[in-house]
């Protein structure tokens, strides 16, 4: 099944040639086979060795190219993620593009006061409720990390809050398996059992190894846990150019591809056919400020190459959208957030997160999230396929109108008015005088107003009381 509504018809860019993609892949295979990587998980290493990998005297695990080929064959090129009610929500794969907010922000701009403050558990609920109300936000992440709360408590409580606040599918982060297992148990309660959840996955687990060439215990532990239970899992290294990866784009991207393919092989050896999402976060270390940049042209370019490689490998991919390195919502914020959002759509990137991130991904803004949702809607219109047919060419209407006439009164115009013109909710289409009459609000003010209105009026359908009791019992048992 192809989700045409989440695809584009025009404006497909390319950053790599076919020979370059092949060279990056071949070099990644060489890294896997000749250099090897560290696996700090005894069982995970055993899976690799039993599958045909080799461990050298220095403890590095080497992966032969044929195992990568086999893993690419067994990993699904697309799979469905379902919403809370068990209805199809996201077909990850191909060039379908879906968008969501980000996770675990320690700081937020308060919607009422405008002040930057520490996040709370209530902020997780608020973010989920707002995402639920925005039709162009397709999935939900936590949006906040509760200040002062230990990971063993925070991650399951995030999941518990999100289940109640939105019907949309979830993408979760976690500490160790001890924080993933309660999520899985709660999701089983929502879906009606473990096999029902396997058949209709409700959440995707974010997973990240450590560059360069290191696969930590917690990362591998979560990967195996998810593979065993059919929980879709990302495997997304974050090689920082100039820090934990070569400063060159090609070197950075190739390292990330090699690390992600290492995870793919382990995942597919453990559970052939289990759903897997490849990706990387190619951050860039600014040598002038020592800041890890999230929107520099080098990040955006490396990210585009990574997505192209995922399409070339025919694997669902992890992506980015709607974030900025700006400290406040300003022209830089709008430019950067729209650029990465539009590019993800043009590239056909699948699971695009971080809408609403400011400050290099360290601070969140609900106003920014609302603005980005509008950017997504606009870009989906901008990049939609253009129909060329006798009806849209409208030559017969032109004959009726004739020289010097107008098209305002034609039935053709009224018939195509709604499908030919996109209507913004926030972006200005009014004259100066009408804009003043409507309050003279700028985009940030209108986004704040819309966020407040949605939170005052929108609630996701309530879960049955007995289901709430069962998922709450999981939290009580932590």
pLDDT in tens, 252-289: 999 999 999 999 999 999 999 999 999 999 999 999 99
Question: How buried is 198 (Cβ within 10 angstroms: 0-12 exposed, 13-18 middle, 19+ buried)?
Answer: middle
CB count, 10 Å around CB of 6? 19
Q: What is the pLDDT along the chain (478 residues), one digit of tens a residue?
A: 456 667 777 788 999 999 999 999 999 999 999 999 999 999 999 999 999 999 999 999 999 999 999 999 999 999 999 999 999 999 999 999 999 999 999 999 999 999 999 999 999 999 999 999 999 999 999 999 999 999 999 999 999 999 999 999 999 999 999 999 999 999 999 999 999 999 999 999 999 999 999 999 999 999 999 999 999 999 999 999 999 999 999 999 999 999 999 999 999 999 999 999 999 999 999 999 999 999 999 999 999 999 999 999 999 999 999 999 999 999 999 999 999 999 999 999 999 999 999 999 999 999 999 999 999 999 999 999 999 999 999 999 999 999 999 999 999 999 999 999 999 999 999 999 999 999 999 999 999 999 999 999 999 999 999 999 999 999 999 9
pLDDT per residue as tens digits for the range 368-393: 999 999 999 999 999 999 999 999 99
What DSSP element (H or E) covers 354? strand 351-355
Label residue 5 left, alpha or beta by phi (over 0 means left) and psi (-120 to 50 means alpha): alpha
Structural domains for the chain: 4-16+71-382 (3.20.20.480), 390-420 (no CATH)
Q: With both helix axes pointing from N to C terminus, report the angle between 217-229 and 177-191 in degrees, rounded to the nearest 10.
A: 20
Nearest CA among 311, 313, 318 for reference residue 282: 318
SS3 60: coil
Please tell me the number of Cα atoms within 13 Å of 291 on its side-chain side. Answer: 13
Q: List beta partners, residue 276.
A: 233
| pTM across the whole model | 0.97
Q: Give the integer Cα–Cα distance in Å for 338 and 376.
A: 8
pLDDT of residue 2: 54
pLDDT of residue 219: 98
């Amino acid at each position: 099944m192809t989700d045409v509504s989440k695809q584009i018809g025009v404006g497909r860019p390319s950053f790599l040639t076919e020979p370059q993609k092949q060279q990056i892949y071949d070099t990644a295979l060489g890294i896997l086979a000749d250099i090897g990587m560290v696996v700090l998980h005894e069982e995970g290493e055993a899976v690799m060795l039993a599958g045909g990998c080799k461990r050298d005297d220095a403890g590095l695990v080497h992966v032969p190219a044929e195992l990568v080929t086999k893993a690419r064959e067994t990993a699904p090129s697309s799979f469905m993620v379902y919403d809370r009610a068990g209805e199809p929500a996201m077909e990850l794969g191909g060039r379908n593009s879906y968008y969501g907010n980000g996770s675990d922000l320690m700081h937020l701009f308060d919607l009422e006061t405008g002040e930057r403050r520490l996040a709370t558990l209530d902020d997780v609920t608020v973010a989920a409720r707002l995402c639920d109300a925005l039709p162009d936000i397709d999935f939900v992440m936590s949006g906040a990390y509760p200040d002062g709360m230990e990971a063993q408590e925070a991650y399951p409580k995030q999941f518990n809050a999100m289940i109640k606040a939105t019907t949309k599918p979830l993408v979760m982060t976690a500490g160790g398996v001890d924080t993933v297992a309660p999520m899985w148990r709660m999701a089983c309660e929502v879906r009606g059992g473990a096999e029902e959840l396997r058949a209709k996955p409700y959440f995707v687990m974010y997973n990240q190894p450590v560059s360069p060439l290191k696969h930590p215990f917690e990362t591998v532990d979560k990967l195996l846990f998810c593979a065993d239970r059919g929980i879709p899992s990302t495997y997304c290294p974050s090689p920082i150019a100039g820090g934990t990866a070569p400063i060159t784009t090609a070197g950075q991207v190739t390292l990330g591809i090699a690390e992600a393919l290492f995870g793919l092989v382990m995942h597919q050896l453990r559970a052939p056919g289990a759903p897997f999402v490849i990706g990387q976060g190619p951050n860039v270390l600014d040598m002038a400020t020592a800041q890890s940049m999230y929107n520099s042209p080098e990040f955006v370019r490396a990210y585009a190459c990574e997505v192209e490689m995922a399409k070339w490998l025919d694997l669902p991919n992890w992506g980015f959208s709607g974030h900025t390195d700006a400290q406040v919502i300003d022209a830089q914020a709008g430019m950067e957030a729209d650029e990465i959002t539009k590019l993800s759509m043009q590239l056909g990137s699948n699971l695009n997160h971080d809408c609403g991130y400011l400050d290099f991904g360290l601070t969140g803004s609900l106003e920014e999230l609302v603005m980005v949702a509008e950017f997504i809607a606009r870009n989906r219109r901008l990049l939609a396929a253009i129909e060329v047919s006798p009806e849209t060419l409208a030559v017969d209407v032109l004959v009726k109108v004739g020289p010097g006439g107008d098209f305002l009164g034609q039935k053709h115009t009224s018939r195509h008015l709604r499908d030919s013109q996109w209507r913004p909710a926030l972006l200005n289409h009014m004259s100066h005088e009408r804009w003043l009459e409507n309050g003279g609000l700028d985009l940030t003010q209108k986004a704040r107003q819309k966020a407040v209105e949605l939170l005052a009026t929108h609630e996701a359908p309530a879960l049955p009381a007995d289901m709430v009791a069962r998922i709450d019992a999981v939290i009580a048992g932590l």
